[in-house]
């Protein structure tokens, strides 16, 4: 089986590549290393150092491919607020390029990495896929229109697509650069602890998120690529159905905290994963506290026990 992973040198994409190479696929990575890292590139995959904004350079790679996992993106909210044009080019134009290349090559199915940020603030929880999208940032809007593009391409060109809305993905290889614009809260806290700094909690720390382990996200992609129940642009939540306050995250990691600037952001996310169970037969498997303990060990953060 020949597969493409766009963003295959990135945090989630590189885990995706590892899983596909591990099961014997011929895997082609498309990545421009804007946020991806060379050390994450699986040596069993074929690397194409290309930019999804450049259609002509990526289109030939799609010939003979049966599955496309489209993960390449400028994947954060705050940078998109600062520079909406660049994130539009990558996330919106790039997605259209990938869809057109997949359509032209007669690709079997495209699995699109969508984002829970499409929900914004809703009046009720848990979040389910039929709720109206309420993007609160250019990134959220771009990821949401990517879902619509996938569905439209299924409708008008017949290419099979499915969109997975990820909720706060964490795990090995997430950036721990505490000051990096692409870092997310768990990576930031781990990076701060590893360098002996206080964890920067956005007030008042009672805001909560549904944190999903990257290994479960990879499994969701594998299931979505094969399931006979999807392929028409379905949108499916990928989360855990549990929510942890940022104060709890800091407590599990352990160490001093400091308040930082408040943000315009959703207060709480909690996801309904009924659709993922029904259509994909997928359920999360990684317990949050175990996932964090594994990361702490990898980052060299150990609890100092006084004797
Ligand atoms: N957050 C925090 N300290 C940080 C970074 C993030 O307390 O240094 C909080 C942030 O306010 C949000 C949650 O952690 O409530 C998750 O933020 P992140 O940027 O990881 O993902 P988001 O859910 O905003 O996409």
158 and 16 co-located in one domain = yes
Q: How many Å apart are CA 192 and CA 272, to the nearest integer?
A: 32
Q: How many Å apart are CA 133 and CA 68, to the nearest integer?
A: 25
* Residues involved in catalysis: 139
Q: How many domains does the chain have?
A: 2
Both tokens of residue 288? 């949050």
Q: The CATH number of the domain where 263 resides is what?
A: 3.90.25.10
Q: What is the mean pLDDT of residues 26-53?
A: 98
149 and 197 co-located in one domain = no
253 lies in some domain? yes
Pocket test for ligand 1, best of 198, 246, 259, 288 (most atoms within 8 A of CB): 246
70 and 108 co-located in one domain = yes
Nearest CA to ligand 1 atom 15: 207
Average per-residue pLDDT in the chain?
95
Given 3-state DSSP classes, what are the helix, strand and coil percentages for the chain, each rounded to the nearest 5?
A: 40, 20, 40
Nearest partner of 3 among 221, 304, 163, judged by Cα: 221
Q: The CATH number of the domain where 42 resides is what?
A: 3.40.50.720
**Would you place residue 33 in the very low, low, confident or very high pLDDT band (cuts 50, 70, 90)?**
very high
pLDDT at 266: 84
pLDDT at 212: 98
218 and 205 co-located in one domain = no
The model's pTM is 0.96
**Would you place residue 307 in the very low, low, confident or very high pLDDT band (cuts 50, 70, 90)?**
very low
47 and 84 co-located in one domain = yes
28 and 76 co-located in one domain = yes
Give the nearest ligand 1 atom to 116 CA: 25
User: Is a pLDDT exceeding 60 seen at residue 303?
Assistant: no
80 and 196 co-located in one domain = no
165 and 177 co-located in one domain = no
What does R_g of the chain's alpha carbons equal in angstroms?
Answer: 19
304 lies in some domain? no
User: Is a pLDDT exceeding 50 seen at residue 304?
Assistant: no
Question: Within 6 Å (CB) of ligand 1, which residues are found?
Answer: 77, 117, 168, 184-185, 188, 200-202, 207, 209, 246, 263, 265
pLDDT in tens, 120-162: 989 999 999 999 999 999 999 999 999 999 999 999 999 999 9
136 and 204 co-located in one domain = no
pLDDT at 264: 81
User: Is a pLDDT exceeding 90 seen at residue 23?
Assistant: yes
pLDDT in tens, 191-223: 999 999 999 999 999 999 999 999 999 999 999
CB of 72 closer than 8 Å to CB of 52: yes
231 and 88 co-located in one domain = yes
pLDDT at 302: 58
Give the nearest ligand 1 atom to 205 CA: 7
263 lies in some domain? yes
pLDDT at 305: 37
Structural domain of residue 137, as residue ranges?
2-169+212-238
Residues in Cβ contact with 299 at an 8 Å cutoff, skipping those fewer than 6 apart: 176, 190, 191, 193, 194
pLDDT in tens, 41-85: 999 999 999 999 999 999 999 999 999 999 999 998 889 999 999
CB of 128 closer than 8 Å to CB of 207: no
279 lies in some domain? no
158 and 256 co-located in one domain = no
pLDDT at 53: 98
32 and 154 co-located in one domain = yes
272 lies in some domain? no
User: Is a pLDDT exceeding 60 seen at residue 306?
Assistant: no
132 lies in some domain? yes
């Amino acid at each position: 089986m020949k597969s493409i992973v766009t963003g295959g040198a990135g945090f989630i994409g590189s885990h995706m590549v590892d899983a596909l190479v591990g099961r014997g696929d011929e895997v082609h990575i498309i990545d421009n290393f804007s946020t991806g890292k060379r050390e994450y590139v699986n040596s069993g995959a074929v690397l194409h150092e290309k930019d999804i904004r450049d259609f002509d350079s990526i289109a030939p790679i799609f010939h003979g491919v049966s599955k496309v996992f489209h993960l390449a993106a400028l994947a954060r909210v705050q940078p998109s607020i600062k520079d909406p044009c660049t994130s539009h080019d990558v996330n919106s134009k790039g997605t259209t390029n990938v869809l057109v290349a997949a359509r032209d090559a007669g690709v079997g199915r495209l699995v699109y990495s969508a984002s829970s940020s499409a929900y914004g603030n809703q009046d009720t929880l848990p979040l389910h896929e039929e709720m109206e999208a309420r993007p609160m940032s250019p990134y959220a809007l771009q990821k949401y229109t990517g879902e619509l593009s996938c569905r439209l391409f299924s409708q008008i060109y017949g290419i099979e697509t499915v969109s997975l809305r990820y909720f706060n993905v964490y795990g090995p290889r997430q950036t721990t650069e505490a000051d990096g614009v692409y870092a997310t809260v768990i990576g930031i806290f781990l990076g701060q602890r590893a360098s002996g700094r206080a964890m920067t909690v956005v007030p008042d720390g009672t805001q909560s998120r549904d944190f999903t382990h990257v290994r479960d996200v990879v499994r969701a992609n594998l299931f979505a690529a094969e399931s006979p129940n999807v392929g028409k642009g379905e949108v499916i939540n990928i989360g855990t159905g549990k929510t942890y306050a940022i104060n709890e995250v800091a407590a599990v990691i352990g160490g001093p905290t400091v308040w930082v600037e408040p943000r315009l952001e959703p207060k709480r996310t909690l996801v309904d994963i009924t659709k993922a169970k029904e259509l994909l037969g997928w359920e999360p498997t990684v317990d949050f506290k175990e996932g964090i303990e594994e990361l702490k060990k990898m980052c060299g953060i150990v609890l100092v026990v006084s004797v």
